[in-house]
């Protein structure tokens, strides 16, 4: 039989096979890159919002707390976007003629909400919940980045499955005391920035244990500083709530403790510390603060106190795909 293909076509066939293989691999790599690219994950994009709202101005500049606007973040799966009313608390008086704020005034006048464009948006088949993360010691900045430095909001992390699992497999390095959740600058415990924690049930001010029965401070509880002055002078019984300096315009404080004075004013808690009512104001200091000078130790302590599930349990599919 006549040779239909000459020898060179054999080589050509082999060559084109190899070439096809290479193209397939290259496509695979490219698709994989694409799937992780900021273009797909939407990382860093700043959508055109109806109002160019600046977190930098309102958080870092004015000292507003996250919960002033994202009111449900501690008690619901959604953090929530504030209603126009929240803006009008100030903007009925400040910048009342600014062109930039026209959509806010318009929304207020008509009762139609401002159409903010979502920046973070997980697919519907993923279950996410703010409440549990925030109450188990994951700070806003761990997921959203330095919001206080963002003139316009953008997505800092990929929000892909791999990113979630990365933390779920080893949460300890990201855990912080729940009192530090809103602290944008938190960098973990270190010898320069130690953290003191106690499980004592009866302490004052910053030392009021959270629901998890543990509380931490970032200033030496045995030294002389304003936080301790407060520890030594608990509010008098009947003192109005919120006297410990909380308020929306107060920079740097966590208003999760806004309801604390009710606890501290209970006379019983004073006796339980082994002091009599006559030495109230004379150092009812809990003795058993533990000092943490590195994040590994603090992380493991908090894993235990917050009853964090094991890496295996937290990475099982049903946690996020229900
Ligand atoms: C004065 C009100 C106000 C304060 C205070 C505030 N925010 Fe916001 N936040 C908004 C508004 C309005 C939006 C929607 C517009 C936008 O995306 O910029 C928003 C959007 C966001 C988003 C993106 C929502 C989305 O669409 O995915 C995140 C994340 C966020 N805020 C986090 C924070 C954190 C963290 C803090 C505290 C450090 C904070 N915010 C403080 C008003 C506020
Ligand atoms: C606690 C008071 C307060 C609240 C609440 C508040 N603002 Fe402001 N806002 C200000 C002040 C003060 C300025 C001027 C800031 C500056 O120039 O540094 C400002 C400035 C602005 C500006 C001008 C651009 C800029 O950032 O400087 C916009 C736009 C704006 N605010 C939108 C909003 C929106 C939208 C809301 C509601 C989600 C809101 N503000 C809530 C006090 C507030
Ligand atoms: C464990 C990571 C994580 C932490 C911690 C976290 N967020 Fe979020 N946040 C997300 C994800 C993921 C979304 C998108 C949710 C979705 O699309 O359903 C989101 C969405 C939001 C939104 C948009 C509105 C909403 O409720 O979906 C706001 C506002 C917000 N976060 C604010 C905050 C604030 C304030 C804190 C700190 C108190 C915080 N987040 C802590 C991951 C986190
Ligand atoms: C920085 C760390 C961190 C990141 C990032 C993170 N998580 Fe979590 N997640 C935790 C911790 C800690 C818990 C609490 C575990 C426990 O209580 O055992 C948790 C718990 C959960 C739960 C359990 C809720 C319940 O009620 O059982 C869900 C669901 C969840 N995360 C979803 C997600 C999703 C989806 C993402 C990514 C979009 C994500 N998480 C990103 C740390 C993280
Ligand atoms: C900690 C939360 C979390 C856990 C646990 C988790 N996933 Fe996911 N998964 C996600 C998120 C978030 C996405 C959305 C990714 C995106 O938008 O790119 C996702 C997406 C997916 C997708 C869509 C394809 C893709 O990769 O984007 C599949 C399939 C999937 N997950 C399967 C699983 C299986 C199987 C398991 C158990 C082995 C699992 N997931 C465990 C958070 C989780």
100 CA to centre of ligand 2 in angstroms: 10
Backbone angles phi, psi at 245, to 5 degrees: 85, 10
Given this model, what pLDDT does residue 17 score? Answer: 77
Say if ligand 2 is within 6 A of residue 64 CB: yes
The C-alpha atoms of residue 276 and residue 284 are separated, in whole angstroms, by 10
Q: pLDDT at position 41, please?
A: 79
Query: Which atom belonging to ligand 3 lies closest to the Cα atom of 73?
Result: 38
Cβ-based burial of 210 (10 A; exposed 0-12, middle 13-18, buried ≥19): middle
Q: Which of 198, 245, 254 is nearest to 226 (CA)?
A: 245
CA-to-CA distance for 280 and 298, rounded, in angstroms?
31
pLDDT digits (tens), the chain, 322 positions: 556 666 666 777 777 877 877 777 777 667 777 777 777 778 888 888 999 999 999 999 999 999 999 999 999 999 999 999 999 999 999 888 899 999 999 999 999 999 999 999 999 999 999 999 999 999 999 999 999 999 999 999 999 999 999 999 999 999 999 999 999 999 999 999 999 999 865 445 444 445 568 889 999 888 654 444 344 444 444 444 433 333 333 333 333 333 333 333 333 333 333 333 444 444 455 558 999 999 999 999 999 999 999 999 999 999 999 9
Ligand 5 neighbours by CB, cut-off 6 Å = 122-123, 126, 160-161, 164-165, 168, 315, 317, 319-321
The answer to whether the beta carbons of residues 182 and 67 sit under 8 Å apart is: yes
Q: How far is residue 286's CA from residue 244's CA, in Å, rounded to a whole number? A: 20
Chain centroid to CA 272: how far? 34
Q: Quote the tokens at residue 205.
A: 């001010």
């Amino acid at each position: 039989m006549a040779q239909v293909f000459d020898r060179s076509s054999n080589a050509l066939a082999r060559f084109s096979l190899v070439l096809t293989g290479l193209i397939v691999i290259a496509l695979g790599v490219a698709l994989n890159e694409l799937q992780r690219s900021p273009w797909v994950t939407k990382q860093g994009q700043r959508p055109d919002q109806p109002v160019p709202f600046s977190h930098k101005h309102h958080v870092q500049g004015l000292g507003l707390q996250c919960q002033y606007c994202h009111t449900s973040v501690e008690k619901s799966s959604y953090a929530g976007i504030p209603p126009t009313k929240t803006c009008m608390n100030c903007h009925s008086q400040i910048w009342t003629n600014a062109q930039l704020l026209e959509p806010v005034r318009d929304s207020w006048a008509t009762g139609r909400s401002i159409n903010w464009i979502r920046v973070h948006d997980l697919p519907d088949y993923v279950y996410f919940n703010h409440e549990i993360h925030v109450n188990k010691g994951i700070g806003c900045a761990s997921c959203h980045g330095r919001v206080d430095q963002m003139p316009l909001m953008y997505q800092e992390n990929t929000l892909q499955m791999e990113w979630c699992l990365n933390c779920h497999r080893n949460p300890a390095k990201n855990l912080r005391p729940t009192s530090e959740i809103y602290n944008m600058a938190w960098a973990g415990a270190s010898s320069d920035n130690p953290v003191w924690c106690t499980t004592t049930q009866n302490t004052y001010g910053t030392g009021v244990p959270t629901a998890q029965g543990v509380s931490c401070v970032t200033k030496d509880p045995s030294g002389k500083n304003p936080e301790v002055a407060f520890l030594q002078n608990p509010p008098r019984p009947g003192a109005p709530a919120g006297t410990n300096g909380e308020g929306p315009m107060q920079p740097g404080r966590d208003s999760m403790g806004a309801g604390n004075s009710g606890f501290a004013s209970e006379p019983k808690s004073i006796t339980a510390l082994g002091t009599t009512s006559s030495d109230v104001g004379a150092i009812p200091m809990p003795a058993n603060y533990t000092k943490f000078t590195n994040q590994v130790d603090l992380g493991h302590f908090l894993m235990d106190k917050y009853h964090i599930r094991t890496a295996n349990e937290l990475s099982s599919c049903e946690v996020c795909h229900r």
